[in-house]
Amino acid sequence: MVGSDLTWALIRGVNAPPTAPEILGPAQGKVGQRVTYSFNATDPDGDDIYYFINWGDQTNSSWLGPYSSSTAINVSHSWNKKGTYIIKGKAKDIYGNESDWGSVQVKMPFSYNGPFTQFWEILFERFPHAFPILRHLLGLFQYLFSQNI
């Protein structure tokens, strides 16, 4: 009596981690306003990937996904305080293999658009030749605040 048996096995090679995410978006924003950033990583094995984002202000996104490899995702965030923040992103494939961190720096300058300045702007628009010295000083103050001096 002769018998035979056939077994198939899929042997997967070494699972390579995804690339560190490329992070694209503005280098500057305004405090309290949402800013959108694009995150894109590629898995060399073509595996779906998750993204983790650390916003640099002691908050994070937790793991987002899964998304197809090389598919950019857009994520928005707002900062509550003036400062310079480092946004860091990491990718992991569906098998748990994590990338290095990708990072980008963003600056949130002081935004001085309170009701007081809005009142003066409206007044100066209606009476452009009134109070020329005060108009000059207000313009100087706005310039200095916009330069973070």
80-112 pLDDT, tens digit per residue, is 999 999 999 999 999 999 999 999 999 998 655
Are 103 and 129 found together in one domain?
Answer: no
The answer as to whether 67 is a domain residue is yes
Would the pLDDT of 116 be above 90?
Answer: no
With pLDDT > 70 as the criterion, what percentage of the chain qualifies? 69
Measured CA to CA, the distance from residue 108 to residue 136 in angstroms comes to 26
94-104 burial: b if 16+ Cβ within 10 Å, else e: eeebebeebeb
Q: Look up the domain containing 119 and give its range.
A: 115-146
Would you say 118 and 71 are in contact if contact means Cβ atoms under 8 Å apart? no
Would the pLDDT of 64 be above 80?
Answer: yes
Residue type, 1: M
What is the three-class DSSP state of 118?
A: helix
Measured CA to CA, the distance from residue 148 to residue 146 in angstroms comes to 6
The answer as to whether 126 is a domain residue is yes
Give me the pLDDT at residue 139, please: 73
pLDDT band at 119 (very low <50, low <70, confident <90, very high): confident
> Hey, how many other C-beta atoms are within 10 angstroms of the C-beta on 77?
20
Model pTM score: 0.68
Placement of tokens 């280098």 in the chain: 27
- Number of folded domains that form the chain: 2
